[in-house]
Structure formats: structure tokens, C-alpha cells
Amino acid sequence: MFLLALLLGVFIGCSVSIFIIGNKVAKSNDIGNSKADFGDFASQMLNVIVQRDRISKP
């Protein structure tokens, strides 16, 4: 039982660490990783002509 807990624990520990390190490295070393968005190019807001929510499957 303890061996299984250890294996799962190491897996979870490594996964969480990779997640944190991956985010931190990206934040620290990947600079300017963004592009212009809708607001930068649209001369006005999106003009929604027809809006229907939760309709039946087309």
C-alpha cells in the first residue's frame, strides 16, 4: 500500500513541479509572447445583428 502511495505521490509531485516550473520559465524567458487582438484592429465593437441562444441542434 505504501509503495503504491509513494509511486502516486512521486507522480503527482513531479507533475505539479513541472507545471510550476514550466509556467515560471515561460514567464521569465518567453518575452513578448502576445499578438494584437480584436480591440487593436476593430474600428468599432462587434455589431451583433442576430443573437439566438440555446437553440435546437441545426
CB of 35 to other proteins, least distance (A): 5
Q: How far apart are CA 51 and CA 58, in angstroms?
A: 15
Q: Name which of residues 23 to 52 contact other proteins (CB under 8 A).
A: 23-26, 28-38, 40-52
Give the closest residue to 25 by CA, choosing from 13, 17, 35, 14: 17
For the CB of residue 25, give the shortest distance to other proteins in the complex, in Å: 5
Nearest 5 degrees, angle CA 26-CA 32-CA 36? 125
Residues engaged in binding other proteins (CB under 8 A): 1-2, 4-6, 8-26, 28-38, 40-58
